[in-house]
Structure 1
Amino acid sequence: MHGDGRAIIAVDLAKRPPQNPDPQGSLRIGMVAPPWFGLPPRAYGGIESVVSDLVNQLTLLGHEVTLIGSGENLTSAHRFVQVFETPPTASLGDPLPEVINAAACAAALADIPVDVVHDHTIAGPLLARGRSAPTVITAHGPVTGFHADYYRRLGDTVGLVAISDAQRRANAELDWLGTVHNAVDVSSFPFRADNDGYVLWLGRFSNEKGPQLAIDAARAAGSPIVLAGKLNEPDEKEFFAREITPRLWAGVEYVGEADARAKRELLAGARALVFPIQWEEPFGMVMVEAMACGTPVVAMRRGSVPEVVLDGVTGLVVDTYDELVEAIDAVSGIDPAACRSRAEECFDLPVMARGYERMYRAVVDGGRALRDLAPHGAGAGA
């Protein structure tokens, strides 16, 4: 951002021609990303990854996308409004970058005509009431407690989209527009029918993600385990020192935070991904990434896990620690090809893009018909 507060707008005119365009015609979409990471992020940054992939898919479908975010833009957006030249990663969680992002969004969209705004931030949806174009928002995190109160107060000024049916069930009283599962570029993940014998834990170091349980279960099952994860915040470092460092025995390897390339190599080489979450996680992207590589998932039955992993087909879903240990041994019977097929059918990028097309059409057409549809089992859409 310039010193006077003006956002930088870059326009890329060299775009690929549309592929499989929307038969109902193109939409002008304002896509609002959080300010914390570049687009796409180099390592951690799940929401920014989803936003970047969605932008690329929507332009391939013939839609005109204005992207508002921070850092570098490597997407195919037609316009890019850069809020912060360097993302304020060190201030992660500070409300001011979010508010500045919202202010930049308001200024940009006052001059750029759009048919619909898709906002992935916390503060941005507060501006929905004052604009003529409808706003769709995705609930990327919790929908209970203060979050529930916030979404409830936004009311019908936004169309609220869930990333899993489990998330919708966690607060069925909210006026959900529909469900669209997160997705990955399945073709970018290497498929392997064989493996290197280790199990993998990949995520953020916290009790919610259960890395200490993954280590204990792998050791009890007699399997080596590799851990790769985010270790930047003070609470993550404290957790690591307390729970992980004492468990770095023989057969337990911590390799640091994995970038996109390293993550794919680790997932493709793993015998299984261990996902022992300890909370009702609305969507675990790493499960889809593992399946895309042909790697089965061993996971606790929490949140969206039963919705993403087909028990006995693409992994094993368990309820107790003892079952987790047994599953690490038994998971070798899962067919890698079935994992890849599941990822392609339900969690590939075109599936997500078409799902959001439906959400955009629902609000642009002035109706809320999708709200009447019950949560579904798999795939994108309501």
Structure 2
Amino acid sequence: MSDLHPARSRSGGLRIAMVAPPWYELPPRAYGGIEAMVSDLTTALVRRGHTVTLIGAGRADTPADYVATYPEAPSSRIGEPLPEVVHAAAAAATLASLDVDIVHDHSLAGPLTAASRTAPTLVTVHGAIDDDLGEFYRRLGGAVSLAAISGSQRGSASDLNWAGVVHNAVDAASFPYRADKEDWLLWLGRFSPDKGAHLAIDAARAAGRRILLAGKLTEPSEHDYFSRFVRPRLGADAEYVGEADAARKRDLLSRARCLLFPIQWEEPFGLVMIEAMACGTPVVTLRRGAAPEVVVDGVTGFVRTSPDELPDAVERAGDLDPRACRAHVERHFDVSVMAEGYERLYRQVIAGAALRDRTAVPASAPALAG
């Protein structure tokens, strides 16, 4: 971690400003998929010879230059608008003092300041694109270029200013591979109807299998869902084990027979699926959002159409080869692959911005005669 200074380029490398969301430290201790992805990407880019200034909130363990907008990440205030807005304002002030080739923004409010900068801005869209989010990015127009995290997400709003698709990734080497699995199932995520924890319990029970549930349970909406749909289903064969930190998550994922992930929305990616497969653990999920892009049906898990198909898939998951799961992640979803993808987008966006600058008509230029 270092004090703020103008970013310096290395030979052949880019000068990159990376803006994380403000909600969790980098990397997060437990929940925080976006922050984990940003942290891993930043580390990979520095190792590949780029100069990166990372802007986030709270503590950061990073080889990049780091600037904090909050001394502690305001995790307890998720859902409030002001922490995001304050973070965006502080990040904009930092960016104004940096000499960079590109800004890579992962926050929601941060892109609002992109038009005031000379450096181009690439925004990774981490959420599902509903009407409001789609309109937000349409209003930004050409001030930002957008990176999708899946083809499914990009296809849901194909008219936006997309630069390309780069799948999320993990540092596969940081996840323990284990070939011998134990005889229980795992659900891991945040307690939301979208994530289908109650359906995971129902499917496990129908299959006659024990299931452990490890998830984020902090926001009022999460407590409401848990109380109404999850707690009544708990019992000797369905146990809530709390929120798992990084070490506990890896332990659970590596030991489970399979990860049960019955999503109920158009999941834009689903990082936990590749975390499981990195451990050699197959994924049983539903055909929503990016799941068919992430899981190879019949090889690294099963992608089913309806919840009543899940119990049979759970049984068949024990026949899949853990090595195929691990190899799939190493080949397609390792952080090195993600870093290469973003390098291509950075250079593409930078070149596009330079071309627009060269061809722009100066404001003072005389109008051509008709």
Q: TM-score, normalised by structure 2?
A: 0.92
Q: Quick check: 1:261 aligned with 2:259?
A: no
Q: Calculate the aligned-residue CA RMSD, in Å.
A: 1.8
Would the aligned equivalents of 1:202 and 1:229 in 2 still touch at CA under 8 Å? yes
Deviation of 1:172 (Å)? 1.3
Q: Quick check: 1:354 aligned with 2:340?
A: yes
Q: Secondary structure at the match of 1:80?
A: strand
Deviation of 1:349 (Å)? 0.5
Separation in structure 1 between the aligned mates of residue 120 and residue 287 of structure 2, nearest angstrom: 36
Aligned to 2:27: 40
Would the aligned equivalents of 2:120 and 2:353 in 1 still touch at CA under 8 Å? no
Deviation of 1:243 (Å)? 1.0
Aligned to 2:230: 244
Aligned to 2:52: 65
Structure 1 residue identity aligned to 2:240: Y
Q: Quick check: 1:31 aligned with 2:18?
A: yes
Q: Quick check: 1:51 aligned with 2:44?
A: no
Separation in structure 2 between the aligned mates of residue 107 and residue 368 of structure 1, nearest angstrom: 24
Q: Secondary structure at the match of 1:366?
A: helix
Structure 2 residue identity aligned to 1:148: G
Q: Quick check: 1:225 aligned with 2:211?
A: yes
Work out which of the residue numbers 171, 183, 204 in structure 1 matches 2:190: 204
Which of 89-98 and 330-339 deviates more? 89-98
Separation in structure 2 between the aligned mates of residue 64 and residue 248 of structure 1, nearest angstrom: 49
Deviation of 1:367 (Å)? 6.0
Separation in structure 1 between the aligned mates of residue 296 and residue 29 of structure 2, nearest angstrom: 30
Separation in structure 1 between the aligned mates of residue 50 and residue 333 of structure 2, nearest angstrom: 21
Q: Deviations for 1:110-150, whole angstroms, at most 9, x for unmatched residues? A: 22211100011111101111100000000000222100000
Would the aligned equivalents of 1:9 and 1:82 in 2 still touch at CA under 8 Å? no
Matches within 5 A, 1:275-286: 275-286=261-272
Matches within 5 A, 1:316-335: 316-335=302-321
Would the aligned equivalents of 2:4 and 2:67 in 1 still touch at CA under 8 Å? no
Q: Quick check: 1:136 aligned with 2:130?
A: no
Deviation of 1:368 (Å)? 10
Q: TM-score, normalised by structure 1?
A: 0.89
Aligned to 1:304: 290
Aligned to 2:358: none
Work out which of the residue numbers 3, 9, 23 in structure 2 matches 1:10: 3
Gaps of 5+ in 1: 1-7, 13-20, 370-382
Would the aligned equivalents of 1:161 and 1:179 in 2 still touch at CA under 8 Å? yes
Q: Secondary structure at the match of 1:87?
A: coil
Q: Secondary structure at the match of 2:164?
A: strand
Separation in structure 2 between the aligned mates of residue 56 and residue 151 of structure 1, nearest angstrom: 28
Separation in structure 1 between the aligned mates of residue 56 and residue 227 of structure 2, nearest angstrom: 34
Q: Deviations for 1:310-365, whole angstroms, at most 9, x for unmatched residues? A: 00010011011221111111111111000000000000000000100011101111
Would the aligned equivalents of 2:277 and 2:329 in 1 still touch at CA under 8 Å? yes
Separation in structure 1 between the aligned mates of residue 215 and residue 319 of structure 2, nearest angstrom: 27
Q: Quick check: 1:177 aligned with 2:163?
A: yes
Q: Secondary structure at the match of 1:302?
A: coil
Runs of 4+ with deviation above 3 angstroms: none
Aligned to 1:378: none
Gaps of 5+ in 2: 356-370
Structure 2 residue identity aligned to 1:266: L
